Chains A and B, each alone.
Chain A
């Protein structure tokens, strides 16, 4: 069958709620994730992680383990093939943790020291547990605290500048009518996607094939080619369905170890991490120690903003949790200082985790704003409105669009903020003290170069090919909607092929940049296709394909401050006799660019806010000073919100298309978590009169702090 070409009418697919393209597969169990795909002759690899926090591997006693039933190989630093880590990937130089089995040095507890491969996973697991590794142990330091003598100011990097200064902070503080000076801490937090990291590697006709769980197959394939010194075309990475990532699913020891073992054994090898292993080998969010000083004049206008944050990294790789940067977007002041410092400890390297920088940074800054509101007697929303900058406080650049005030106003109306009595400790319901709080949010809107191909098929349908990843965002559906809208056809007629490095380079799903980056490439290819279809004529059996590459267009993008914004509102109930805190309701109003699919975008924004609940009340990895490892690194020892912790959480948005983006997108993946923990902490203060500046707000902390309700002036 052939179809005559021509330009159809627009359908308005964009912005219309659509259920997920792959929804049926997900609710029937048909969707195959990386560890679900059967392969003949599949062998199973089990990672062995170090049990000392610093030292050297003296020996790996593999003989006894090789004699165990089903064991095929033990890879370790003395027998593993040499690999290359001297390259710069999509997110910079690689974390040495992925260069598995190349050296005897152990820089932290949980460092991969061996891979045991066996016919069956039960055999591999038991052999891995029985493998005796001898270490020369050295003293370690794993304890993070504010003012650690080893802290230093890192070099600037493409991810941000360590320090920004303007004006005289001390002078402005001294001249301020109201001053807040407070210290905040956030703990070590872990991504914990529900699907553990899994990779299956095999050689197929001279190509390394990896069935993987990742956030971007271009990212992983290009690095694997570097690591194994292969021609880029000789590596194919696919990740059809991904069970969550949140920043943790880039190149990890799983893919490298699986590829190495598949090469040595010349048969398919699967490596799946245990939940416990994930606490050491996939990155995490650094704990932070932050100090915020705010000075304001009598009208609440900021004279000084000083935000200093410290974080940690490993001894082998530098990753900075840029908590201080959020103030460079949200508020201006004549004196403005923001800095991130870092200390190297004998711990794994942290990495990007949902809302990197902004999530912990906004907790400190937005709580400090609330403290300033309390001191100045100005309503927290009004205080923020009075401090709205008209351009980037540090960059001086214009905002592409900034609708934070609209978010606060809409949120205020819907949450019922106007009726709020600002005084703390006044509301009680049985054993529960009630309070409300709010916070502002921002997250930068970025975009990465991508290629796409769109084919008009002879049967009247369209096929979009792009190496996008769907880690739960609804990317497959969003891309179909973007393409359908640009093509002017019903989304049912668009098929999306993705998550395969053979499709060509594309941005990964991260930094709230995925959908924007892919949509740009798809809309560009559709534009080209429509021009060709406009020429008329029959579509040949192989279809007509147009391709795009957004590198040039993105490079030409004007320099502006581009961010999603939001206003977070929370109501909490606190029982200070037991220390329990329950969130009763949350509302988030966002200005996050054009919303492609309201159904999935709302879900993702709400999901981010629920991350805020977990961050505020639950999440905390405990590191044991003596062993250097975690205590209870599993989902019973590391809590995030269960269903019962989550009330009705609502997210909505104001109209806010990015004028310079072809589709108007900004990104919704991260802004939902930003400010959410602060809104909850501010609500806890409103309920109890006590500021909780250390996360999580655990029952023991609430119980120990009790209430602090100031005397209210009669008639006030």
Chain B
């Protein structure tokens, strides 16, 4: 007996910004398209649709990922955080506030991806992850300080054609300082 043809669509449940959404998807639908076209979460942008620009960056289980190469059906069961879930109600996240205050954008199209990426950069650095510009990657060397050079490399997966990189780096640095200050307060 020939195997039954596989269905090419599924009803899936996605957890986005803490909320569960059940929707039917064509298996071809990427997480990016599911967010934008099915759930009206259009803050996540499509810049290249090929993983080459970072505009569609979201957090998947707390880690940054390009949603254009993530099939929606394969994201079932994972926690998705989009730009719409970054602020605390009306209160902007310090990363968002820094981008706004320091003009870390121009056209704004890459901005949601930059901000989601920046959130992850702060986490990755706090976890001690090295980067391609970290001189000594051995764990004995200890974590590299989050210098402008480190920020530039870590943020390089997010292209900005307007060329707002200088203020983006300043915004990430400011958010990192705010985070350190907060953590020190907690320790104190």
Contacts and interface: CB of A to CB of B under 8 A. Distances in A.
A603 interface: yes
Interface in A26-44: 26-33, 35-38
Contacts of B168: 643
Contacts of B110: 194, 243
Interface residues of A, number: 62
B43 A29 contact: yes
Contacts of B103: 19-20, 599-600, 603
Contacts of A104: none
Contact of A27 (B36, B92, B109): B92
Contacts of A607: 106, 162-164
A194 B92 contact: no
A609 B166 CA distance: 11
B163 A646 contact: yes
A275 B109 contact: no
Interface in A614-651: 634-636, 640-644, 646, 648-649
Interface stretch (A339-347, A385-393, A471-479): A471-479
A19 B103 CA distance: 7
B64 interface: no
B144 interface: no
B160 A194 contact: yes
Given A244-B107, A607-B106, A635-B48, A644 B96 contact: no
Contacts of A24: 92, 100
A30 B43 contact: yes
Interface in B148-163: 148, 151-153, 155-156, 158-163
Contact of A32 (B42, B48, B50, B161): B42
Interface string B1-43: 0000000000000000000000000101100010011001111
Contacts of B47: 194-196, 275, 635
A89 B149 CA distance: 47
Given A606-B163, A610-B163, A648-B166, A28 B92 contact: yes
B50 A634 contact: yes
Nearest to B168: A643
B115 interface: yes
A26 B105 contact: yes
Contacts of A606: 163-164, 166-167
Nearest to A213: B109
A22 B103 CA distance: 11
Interface string A245-270: 01000000000000000000000000
Interface string A1-24: 000000000000000000110111
Interface in B124-152: 133, 148, 151-152
Contact of B46 (A35, A122, A634): A35
Nearest to B8: A69
B122 interface: no
Nearest to B44: A29
B42 A643 contact: no
B100 A27 contact: yes
A604 B87 contact: no
B83 A29 contact: yes
B108 A22 contact: yes
Interface string A266-288: 00000010110000000000000
Contact of B107 (A30, A126, A195, A640): A195
Contact of B42 (A36, A120, A472, A636): A36
Contacts of A472: 105-108, 162
Given A19-B100, A194-B160, A644-B153, A33 B109 contact: yes
B115 A38 contact: no
B161 A31 contact: no
**Candidate in A474, A608, A635 with the most chain B CB atoms within 10 angstroms:** A635
B111 interface: yes
B55 interface: yes
Given A19-B101, A28-B87, A603-B106, A635 B92 contact: no
Contact of B111 (A26, A32, A611): A26
A191 B164 CA distance: 16
Given A20-B103, A29-B42, A274 B49 contact: yes
A540 B100 CA distance: 37
A620 to B, nearest CB: 16
Contact of B159 (A38, A195, A599, A640): A640
Contact of B161 (A27, A29, A194): A194
B146 to A, nearest CB: 14
A308 interface: no
A510 interface: no
B164 A603 contact: yes
A242 interface: yes
A194 B159 contact: yes
Contacts of A640: 159, 161
Contact of A29 (B100, B112, B156, B164): B112
Contacts of A600: 103, 106
A121 interface: yes
A547 interface: no
B54 to A, nearest CB: 9
A26 to B, nearest CB: 4
A610 B165 contact: yes
Contacts of A36: 36, 42
Contacts of A599: 103
A574 B90 CA distance: 48
A192 interface: yes
Given A23-B100, A472-B106, A607-B164, A643 B86 contact: no
B52 interface: yes
12 contacts: A27-B99, A30-B43, A30-B84, A35-B46, A121-B33, A122-B29, A241-B108, A244-B161, A472-B105, A606-B164, A607-B163, A634-B48
Interface of A: 19-20, 22-33, 35-38, 120-123, 126, 191-196, 241-244, 246, 272, 274-275, 471-474, 599-600, 603-604, 606-611, 634-636, 640-644, 646, 648-649
Closest 7 CB pairs of A and B: A29-B43, A243-B109, A472-B107, A610-B163, A607-B163, A472-B106, A29-B83
